[in-house]
C-alpha cells in the first residue's frame, strides 16, 4: 500500500457532533481567546499582543523597559490561536475573524528581527541571551507554533505573510544550527513537527532539513544540556539539565523504547519522528516510533486516552503506574497523542492508531473544555472526591471544576485547534484511496478527487452512512471495540478487503456505503499489572468512556459497585443536551461510617446513571469515578 | 474512678512474644545502635559521641573546628539510645551495657555549659545562635529526649547523674522561657511530654511548669514563627515559618480539633496535652485531646495503626485520604500514637485507647524493624509493587526492603525504646486496681502492691491466664474486635463490672483469672468515605493485620481477590518462626496482559496465604498487599 497522508481536505464541512463542537469553538472559544490575547477578557494578564507590539518598538530602538510579560513561551499562544483561527476560516469564511488574524500577523511580522529571529522575550530585552538556553528558552518551541499557524493560515486563506515570516525565521534557524553547525536541540520539542508542516506548505527543503536535524541530533550527546547550563549564568526556572529522561535525551531517539519524561514534549517529538520516518522511508526511525507507541498505549495510557500520569514533571511514570485520583493526564498530552497517532496512520493505516486517536479525542481532549466552551481543564483525573481532590497534598493539581483561564495557557488553545482541524484526523488520503479513520459527519472533498458525504449521529449513534459522489476506493476503519460490525454497499453486504482493521471498498458515484458499529455498552477491565485497577471495571460505549457523578446517583458514587453482567441501557434522558447517559444495573452499599469494621454492609440493587467522561464536572464539584469495584463472583 | 497511671512497674519480666522481641532489642538492636553512635557500625557516619566529646572540648576553649556533624537533632539519638538501654537494664541487669551508658552520660555531662545549656550543635559552634531558631533548631527537642532518658535511667538504676544534668538543663529552660518570659515554643514538640516524665522522676515542679507553659503558649500567637524567622539571618532547612498547620500552631491547642501537620510532632504534642490534662484535671484540655483522638482514629488512621498518610511534610492529610501504596505512615508516628493512647488511658481506662495502642504496636511499630533486628523501615505502606514502589515519582519514599540505617535515625531507636518499655503500655495502676491494657506475658509487680503473672501466647494464642499473687482488683481490657470473649475466675464464669470496655474483677491471692479472646480471623472493610478502600477487604486476627506477599502466593498477589465468607484458617506452617500464617479461600484471575479489555478473566478458586503485616518484606522485594478487592455479591 502506498503511503497515505493526512487529508489535504480542501473542504471539510463538518456536521453533527463535530460541527456542534466546531461551532462552539468558532463562536465562543476563538473570540474569547482573542480577547485574552488582547487582555480584554478580565482574566489574568496575557500580554501576548502587547509583547509583539513592544518587540517591534524595541527593534525600532524605542525603550520599552519591562515590556515583556508572561511565560518564556508566551508567543506560542498567538501561534496556537492563529492556527485555530485558520482552521475555522478554512471551514467557514469570517471576514471579522480574518481581519483580526491579519492584524495579529502584521504585529508578528513587525516583531521579526532583520536576521529572521522571531521571539518577543529575547527581543524586548536580553537580546544577548538569544539561543543561550535551549533547555528552557522555548525559542524553537515558539518558532514551531508560529510555523504551524503559518502553514494552516496559508492553507486556509492563501495569504503568504505569516508563511514568509516563518520561512525567514526557518532560514535563520537553518543557518545557525545547520550551516554554521551550532550545537544544540530544543528542551521542548515542537519545531520538528512544525517544520514538517511548513515544508509541506511551502515546499522549502530547508524546513525538512531542520526537522531532520533536530530529530537526529537529540540525545546523541546527552551531556549537551549540562554543558549549555554551565556555559551561561542565568536560568528560567532552574530546570535540571541532567534530567535527560524529562527531556527525552538520554540516548539518540532511534534507540529509545520507553516513553519517558514530560508527556507533551515526548509526544510532540514522537510525532515528528513518525512524520519524518514516513516521509523518508526511514525504517529504523519507524521502528523506534513503534516501540514508543507500544510503550505508551500498552503500558502508560489511561482508558480515557490520557497520558503522563504523574504531576511530577507532568510526566510519564513507570509502566502500569496509572492512579485515577492523582492522574495528571494533561489535555495537551492527549492532543499530542492524537498528533502522534495521525502520523503513525500516515505511515500505515492500522486501526490501532486510529482507535487510540479517537479514544484520546472523545475523552481526555473533549474533557479539557467545559460544555459551554468557557472553562478548561489541564489535568484530567479519573476520580474526583470532594475534600480530597485539590485539597490533599498529593492532589493539589486535581482541581475539580474547570477554571476559566490559566497563566500557562497551553491547553485551551490546543483544544481549539484540535477541534477545528478534526477533519485532518478523521480523513486521510493517498493517490487512490480515501481513509475514513474517524466517523465524522460532513462533506468531504479530497485532493485525490474522491468526494463523499458522511452522515452519522456518532458517537451516540452507530450507523455511519457514506454517500459516494465520485468513483474511488474508501478505506473504512473497523474499530477494535466493535464486536458486531456490518458494512453494506447499496443495501447488500459490501465486498471488502480487510487489512489492519480497515475495510477497503471500491465504490462508485451514487453508491451508499453504510457502516453499522456495535453500540452496546461494554464493561472494560484493566490489566492486573495496573495496581489501581484490581477488581474494578469501567463502562464504555463506542469510543466514549463513561463516568459516574454524585449528582446523578444520590450522592452515592463512593458506595457504588458494578456487577458482572449487570445490564447497561441507554437512558431515556440525559442531563446534557445531545448526549446519551446510561442506566446501569449496579449495587450500592451503605455503611455506618465507622472507619474500619468487621460488619459488611449489604449490597443492594441500584440503578446507577453514567454520563460521558468528557461531560464531567459541568455541574459543580461532585464526586466522580470512572472505575468502580466490580462484583463478578458467582457463589454457585 | 480514680485517675490511673502508667504502671510504675518495679519489675516487669516479660515472657513469650514480648520477651522474644525484648531479647532481640537487647542483644541485637541496642548493641548495634551503640556501635552506630560510636561510628563503628560501618554505616553512614553518626558522630553522636564525637559531637559530645567535641562540645566538651569547645567548652574548655579548645578549637574543634568543624567538630559538629549530623542533623541539628543529632544529640537526640544519644537520648533515645540511653532510654532504650535504661529500659533494658530495668528488665535485666547488664554491667557491660550499664558501663557503656555511664560512659556516654559522663560525656553528655561534660558537654553541658555552666548555665545548664546542653546541645552540641550550638556549643561546638554558633554559640551566639542558641535559642534563635525554635522553629528548626530542635534544642528543646533534644533536651526532651535527654530528659526522657534521664527519667528512665534514674528509674532503672537509681543513678542521678543524667537526671541532674537534665534538671540543670530544665532550670536553664525555666529561667529563659518562664522567669525571663522570653517568647517562643518548639517547632518539634517533645519537651512537653519529656518534662512530665522528668517531673514525675524528680518531683521538680519547674518541669511541670515547663510542660504546661509550652502546651499553653503554642498557637496563641500564630505569627510567632514568622517573626522569629524575620529576626534572624540563618535557617536550617528553610522551613516555611507560616505553615502553622505543619507545626500545630494555627490556634491555641485547646481550640484544636483536627490532627494536622507533621504526624510525629502532632502526637508528641497531644501526648503531653493528655498527660497534663489528667495531671491537672483540666477538662478543656482533655476535651481537645478527645477531639484530636477522634480526628486521628476515626478519619486519619490506617488499619495498621499507621498515621500521617502523606510524604509531603510526613504529615496528616485531609480526612479519609489513606492511600495504601503511597502511604507515609512513619514508624515513629505510630510510636507517638502509642504514647498518646497511653496518656489517654491514664485519664480514663477506656478500651478504645488501648485497642488503638495495640493496633499501632503489633502492626506499624513492629513492621518498623526486620525480624532479625538489623534493618528498619521509616515508611510503612499497605501495598508494595515491584517496579512502582520506590521507583515511580510519587513512590520514591516507599522503599520495599528495610535499609540498615538512616542518616535521620529517629525510627530505629524509637522502636527499641517502645519494645523495651512495653510493660509501661501493657499495664497501668491506681491505688487499688491493676489495669491490664495489653496482653503481655510475664511477671508483674505493681507499686500498689498488686502482683501477678500473665501467661499467654498472644498475639497468636488467645487465652490469657492471670495467676494472682496478691489480693486486689484487676481491670482487664476486652478488645472491641473480640466477638466471643470469656472471663473465668478459678474455672467459673467470673463476676465482673464492665465499664468502658474493661472488666473489673476482684481477685485474691491464688486466684486464676482466665481471659479467652476470639481468635477467629475476621474480614475488615473500610468506610465508604475512604476512596482507596471501595470494594476491598483485609484480614485481621486478634490485633494483627495480615498481608499477602507474592512469595507465598505464586507471584499472584496483584491477581488475588477475596470472597465474602471465604474460609480463613490458621496455616499448619508459617514462613516465620513463632508466628501463624493464614490460609484464605480466595480467588485468582489470570488476564492476557492487555492494558484494557472487554474480556474479563475467570475468577478461580485459590488458597492464598497471608502473613502478619509486621513480618512483611523480610524476604526481599516482593509485591505485597494488605487490602484486596472482595467479591461479595451473591447473584441469587
On whether the CB atoms of residues B25 and B416 are closer than 8 A, the answer is yes
Beta-carbon count within 10 A of B2 CB: 8
Q: Which of A166, A332, A410, A454 is catalytic?
A: A410
What pLDDT is recorded for position B391?
97
CB A184 within 8 A of CB A115: no
Residue A237 at interface with chain B, using a CB cutoff of 8 Å = no
Query: Cell digits for A560?
Result: 457504588
What is the C-alpha separation between A466 and A243, in angstroms, rounded? 50
Rounded-to-integer distance, Cα A486 and Cα A367, Å: 30
CA–CA distance, A492 with A509 (Å, rounded to integer): 16
Buried-exposed string B21-35: b where 16+ CB fall within 10 A, e elsewhere: bbbbbbebbbbbbbe
Rounded to whole angstroms, how far apart are CA atoms B120 and B66? 12
Nearest chain B residue (CA) to A635: B634
A358–B contact, CB cutoff 8 A = no
Among partner residues B524, B535, B600, which is closest to A597 by beta-carbon distance?
B524
Q: How confident is the model at residue B510 (pLDDT cuts 50, 70, 90)?
A: very high
Active site residue A314: yes
Q: B294, B305, B321: best mutation site toward chain A, by most A Cβ within 10 Å? A: B321
For residue A128, give Cα distances in angstroms to A111, A173, B499, B589. 17, 16, 80, 63
State yes or no: pLDDT of B407 exceeds 70: no
pTM for this predicted structure: 0.96
**Could you tell me if A325 lies within 8 Å of chain B, comparing CB atoms?**
yes
Q: Residue B139: in which H helix or E strand, if any?
A: helix B139-157
- Look at residue B2 in the predicted model and tell me its pLDDT: 41
The pLDDT tens digits for B227-254 are: 999 999 999 999 999 999 999 999 999 9
The answer for residues whose C-beta is within 8 angstroms of residue B96's C-beta and 6 or more apart is none
Cβ pair A600:B523 closer than 8 A: yes
pLDDT digits (tens, 9 = 90+) for A229-287: 999 999 999 999 999 999 999 999 999 999 999 999 999 999 999 999 999 999 999 99
ipTM of predicted assembly, 2 dp: 0.95
Residues in chain B closer than 8 A to A564 (CB atoms): 600
Contacts of A631 in chain B (CB under 8 A): 535, 631-633
pLDDT (tens digit, 9 = 90+) per residue, B416-453?
Answer: 999 999 999 999 999 999 999 999 999 999 999 999 99
Q: Best interface-test mutation with A: which of B381, B596, B598, B635 has the largest number of A CBs within 10 A?
A: B596
Separation between Cα atoms, residue A112 and residue A132, nearest integer Å: 19
Between strands B522-526 and A560-563, the pairing is: unpaired
Task: Tell me the sheet residues that pair with B475.
Answer: B435, B504
SS3 state at A397? coil
**pLDDT the model gives residue A2:** 41
| H-state helical runs in B38-94 | 48-59, 75-91
Low-confidence ranges of chain A (pLDDT < 70): 1-11, 405-409, 634-636
Strands (E) located in A508-578: 512-516, 522-526, 536-541, 544-549, 560-563, 568-570
Going from the C-alpha of B413 to that of each of B364, B373, B521, the distances in angstroms are: 15, 11, 32
Nearest alpha carbon to residue A292 among A302, A282, A300, A304: A300
Known catalytic residue at B615:
no
Share of chain B above pLDDT 90, in %: 92
B350 three-class SS:
coil
- Active-site residue (options: B410, B411, B436, B547): B410
Where residue A485 falls (left for φ over 0; alpha for ψ -120 to 50; beta otherwise) is beta
β-bridge partners, B515: B464, B487
Residue B283: other Cβ atoms inside 10 A: 9
Residue B608: per-residue pLDDT:
98
Query: Chain B within 8 Å of A233 (Cβ-Cβ)?
Result: no
Topology (CATH level 3) of domain A431-516: Immunoglobulin-like (2.60.40)
Helix (H) or strand (E) holding A145: helix A139-157
pLDDT at A42 (0 to 100): 79
pLDDT at A3: 53
The domain segmentation of chain B, as residue ranges, is 252-429, 431-516, 523-629
B318:A388 CB<8 A: yes
CA dist A2 and A18 (Å) reads 29
Q: Using one digit for the tens of pLDDT, what is the confidence trace for B276-321?
A: 999 999 999 999 999 999 999 999 999 999 999 999 999 999 999 9
- pLDDT tens digits along A338-351: 999 999 999 999 99
B554/B551 Cα distance (integer angstroms) = 6
Of B314, B330, B383, B429, the active-site residue reads B314
Give every CB contact of residue B604 below 8 A, 6+ residues apart in sequence: B587, B588, B589, B590
Contact with chain B for residue A564, Cβ under 8 A: yes
- Going by C-alpha positions, the residue among A215, A366, A371 that lies closest to residue A284 is A215
Q: Give yes or no for a contact between A624 and A550, defined as CB atoms under 8 angstroms apart.
A: yes
**What confidence category does residue B53 fall into, taking pLDDT thresholds of 50, 70 and 90?**
very high
Q: Which of A382, A598, A603, A606 to mutate to test binding with chain B, by most B CBs within 10 Å of its CB?
A: A598
* Residue B397 contacts residue B311 (beta carbons within 8 Å): yes
Q: Is the pLDDT of residue B94 over 70?
A: yes
Among candidates A486, A522, A519, which has minimal Cα distance to A503? A486
Of the candidates B433, B595, B589, the residue with the CA atom closest to the CA atom of residue B504: B433
Q: What cell does A190 get? A: 515542537
The C-alpha of B388 sits at a distance from chain A's nearest C-alpha, in angstroms, of 7
What would the mean pLDDT of B176-198 be, rounded to a whole number? Answer: 97
Cβ neighbours around A318 below 10 Å, total: 19
Closest residue to A563, CB basis, from B524, B526, B633 = B633
A491 touches chain B (CB under 8 A): no
Buried b / exposed e over B533-552, threshold 16 CB at 10 Å, is bbbbbbbbbbbbbbbbbbbb
Compute CA B160 distance to the chain's CA centroid, rounded to the nearest angstrom.
Answer: 27
The answer to whether residue B409 scores a pLDDT higher than 70 is no
Active-site residue, selected from the candidate residues A50, A148, A279, A314: A314
- Residue B17's alpha-carbon distances to A55, B8, B519, B549, B600, in angstroms, are 77, 22, 16, 23, 45
Cell of A187: 528542551
Cis peptide before A213 (omega within 30 of 0): no
From chain B, the residues in CB contact with A593 under 8 A are: 527, 529
Per residue, the 3-state secondary structure of B82-120, as one string, reads HHHHHHHHHHCCCHHHHHHHHHHHHHHHHCCCCCCCCCC
Residues of B in contact with A599 (CB under 8 A): 525
Task: State yes or no: pLDDT of B501 exceeds 70.
Answer: yes
Residue of A586, A453, A430, A440 lying closest to A513 (CA atoms):
A453
Work out whether the CA dihedral A322, A374, A422, A14 comes out positive or negative. positive
- Determine the pLDDT at residue B406: 59
- CA dist B496 and A254 (Å) reads 79
Q: Which three cell numbers stand for residue A7?
A: 487529508
Say how many C-beta atoms besides its own lie within 10 A of residue B455's C-beta.
17
Q: Which three cell numbers stand for residue A603?
A: 449490597
CB contact B326 to A (< 8 Å): yes
Amino acid at each position: 500500500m502506498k503511503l497515505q497522508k493526512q487529508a489535504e481536505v480542501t473542504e471539510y464541512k463538518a456536521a453533527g457532533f463535530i460541527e456542534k463542537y466546531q461551532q462552539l469553538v468558532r463562536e465562543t472559544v476563538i473570540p474569547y481567546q482573542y480577547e485574552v490575547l488582547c487582555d480584554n477578557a478580565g482574566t489574568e494578564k496575557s500580554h501576548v499582543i502587547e509583547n509583539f507590539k513592544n518587540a517591534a518598538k524595541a527593534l525600532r530602538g524605542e525603550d520599552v523597559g519591562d515590556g515583556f510579560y508572561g511565560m518564556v513561551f508566551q508567543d506560542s499562544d498567538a501561534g496556537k490561536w492563529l492556527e485555530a483561527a485558520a482552521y475555522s476560516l478554512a471551514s467557514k469564511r469570517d471576514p471579522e475573524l480574518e481581519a483580526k488574524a491579519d492584524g495579529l500577523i502584521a504585529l508578528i511580522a513587525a516583531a521579526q528581527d532583520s536576521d529572521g529571529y522571531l521571539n518577543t522575550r529575547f527581543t524586548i530585552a536580553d537580546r544577548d541571551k538569544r539561543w543561550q538556553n535551549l533547555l528552557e528558552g522555548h525559542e524553537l518551541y515558539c518558532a514551531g507554533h508560529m510555523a504551524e499557524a503559518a502553514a494552516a493560515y496559508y492553507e486556509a486563506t492563501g495569504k503568504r505573510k505569516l508563511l514568509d515570516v516563518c520561512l525567514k525565521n526557518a532560514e535563520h534557524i537553518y543557518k545557525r544550527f545547520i550551516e554554521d553547525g551550532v550545537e544544540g536541540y530544543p528542551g521542548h520539542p515542537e519545531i520538528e513537527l512544525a517544520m514538517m508542516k511548513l515544508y509541506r506548505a511551502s515546499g522549502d527543503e530547508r524546513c525538512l532539513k531542520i526537522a531532520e536535524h533536530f530529530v537526529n541530533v537529540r540525545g546523541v550527546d546527552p551531556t549537551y544540556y549540562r554543558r549549555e547550563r554551565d556555559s551561561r549564568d542565568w536560568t528560567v526556572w532552574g530546570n535540571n539539565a541532567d534530567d535527560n529522561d524529562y527531556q527525552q535525551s538520554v540516548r539518540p531517539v532511534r534507540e529509545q523504547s520507553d516513553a519517558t519524561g514530560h508527556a507533551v514534549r515526548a509526544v510532540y517529538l514522537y510525532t515528528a519522528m513518525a512524520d519524518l520516518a514516513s516521509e523518508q522511508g526511514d525504517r529504523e526511525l519507524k521502528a523506534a516510533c513503534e516501540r514508543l507507541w507500544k510503550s505508551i498505549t500498552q503500558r502508560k495510557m489511561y482508558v480515557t486516552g490520557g497520558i503522563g500520569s504523574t504531576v511530577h514533571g507532568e510526566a510519564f511514570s513507570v509502566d502500569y503506574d496509572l492512579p485515577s485520583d492523582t492522574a495528571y493526564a494533561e489535555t495537551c498530552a492527549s492532543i499530542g497523542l492524537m498528533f502522534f497517532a495521525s502520523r503513525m496512520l500516515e505511515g500505515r493505516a492500522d486501526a490501532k492508531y486510529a482507535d487510540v486517536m479517537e479514544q484520546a479525542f472523545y475523552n481526555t481532549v473533549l474533557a479539557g473544555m467545559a460544555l459551554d466552551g468557557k472553562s478548561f481543564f489541564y489535568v484530567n483525573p479519573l476520580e474526583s472526591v470532594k475534600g480530597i481532590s485539590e485539597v490533599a497534598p498529593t492532589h493539589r493539581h486535581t482541581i475539580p471544576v474547570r477554571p476559566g483561564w490559566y497563566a500557562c495557557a497551553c491547553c485551551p488553545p490546543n483544544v481549539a485547534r484540535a477541534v477545528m482541524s478534526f477533519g485532518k484526523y478523521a480523513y486521510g488520503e493517498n493517490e487512490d484511496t480515501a481513509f475514513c479513520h474517524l466517523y465524522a459527519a460532513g462533506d468531504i472533498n479530497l485532493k485525490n478527487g474522491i468526494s463523499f458525504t458522511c452522515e452519522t449521529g456518532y458517537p451516540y449513534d452507530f450507523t455511519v452512512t457514506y454517500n459516494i459522489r465520485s468513483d474511488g476506493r474508501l478505506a473504512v476503519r473497523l474499530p477494535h471495540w466493535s464486536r458486531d460490525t456490518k458494512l453494506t454497499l447499496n443495501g447488500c453486504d459490501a465486498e471488502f478487503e480487510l487489512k489492519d482493521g480497515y475495510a477497503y471498498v471500491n465504490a462508485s458515484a451514487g453508491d451508499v456505503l453504510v457502516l453499522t458499529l456495535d453500540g452496546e455498552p461494554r464493561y472494560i477491565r484493566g490489566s492486573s499489572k495496573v495496581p489501581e485497577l484490581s477488581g474494578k471495571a469501567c463502562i464504555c460505549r463506542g469510543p466514549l468512556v463513561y463516568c459516574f457523578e454524585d449528582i446523578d446517583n444520590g450522592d452515592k458514587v463512593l458506595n457504588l459497585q458494578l456487577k458482572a453482567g449487570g445490564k447497561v441501557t441507554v437512558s431515556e434522558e440525559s442531563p446534557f443536551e445531545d448526549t446519551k447517559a446510561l442506566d446501569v444495573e449496579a449495587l450500592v452499599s451503605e455503611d455506618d461510617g465507622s472507619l474500619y469494621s468487621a460488619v459488611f454492609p449489604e449490597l443492594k440493587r441500584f440503578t446507577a446513571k453514567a454520563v460521558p467522561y468528557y461531560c464531567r464536572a459541568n455541574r459543580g464539584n461532585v464526586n466522580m469515578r470512572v472505575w468502580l469495584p466490580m462484583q463478578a463472583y458467582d457463589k454457585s
